[in-house]
Amino acid sequence: MLCQLYGVSHNSTELELVNANSVLWVNIMHQSSLDKMERFVKQYLVELRDKPLKILDLGSMDINGSYKRFFVNQQWKYIGIDLAEGRNVDVVLSDPYQWKEITANSHDVVVSGQAFEHMEYFWSVMQQIERVVKPEGLICIIAPSRGYEHRYPVDCWRFYPDGFRGLARYVDLELLFVETQWDRLDYNVDDSDDWGDTIAVFRKPQKRTFKRKMLLGLRRWLDSQNI
């Protein structure tokens, strides 16, 4: 079986910690990605700090850091999901493109960082994210807009704001915010500036017509049959 290290940091020396026969999303974070997720929490979740929330972190395996620290709240339940067992993984998915382990409309927030560029069919993953988030739920995706090839085992994509705008339309989500770090911000702790991360925040509509629901379900099913 190929070793698929989705979300692996670009200069990590800690890959020996991962079973070479495993297939997983691994969450090794550079500092600018952590900063952007913290910004999302402060801007979009601060008013929900006293409400019970279920938060799903896609690609949560922790090698040298994760987003979990930003979701420590007695009212919140953080759930890490990945494709293999490991630190900070609560649910192991049997299929990256059909999440049978996660029920529809079950989570208030879904986050993912430094993983989408390693997913061959990221639009199918986004369909699953849209399926499991509750109506009016929030989604935060962070992915690089540039940077050298880093194959774990594949490096497929880079993301600009227009790409996330198109993805929002594809899965019928409202795009609340999207921004790319075009400039270098003089991060000295790691190679954060090399990747120019794009952050996008989406919201699932509260209501949809029956026809729209059927069309989205049909598209999700058709896409799954072609993978």
Sheet holding 4-6, edge to edge: 4-6, 23-27, 61-62
Instruction: Name the residue type at position 83.
Output: L
Query: What's the domain count of the chain?
Result: 1
| Cα-based torsion angle of the residue sequence 212, 218, 221, 225 in order, rounded to the nearest 10 degrees | -140
Asked whether the whole model's pTM tops 0.85, one would answer yes
Domain with 172 in it: what CATH number?
Answer: 3.40.50.150
Domain span holding position 187: 4-225
The H or E element spanning position 56 is strand 53-58
Model confidence pLDDT, tens digit, residues 51-110: 999 999 998 988 778 999 999 999 999 999 998 899 999 999 999 999 999 999 999 999
- Give the model confidence (pLDDT) of 188-211 as tens digits: 889 999 999 999 999 999 999 999
pLDDT band at 14 (very low <50, low <70, confident <90, very high): very low
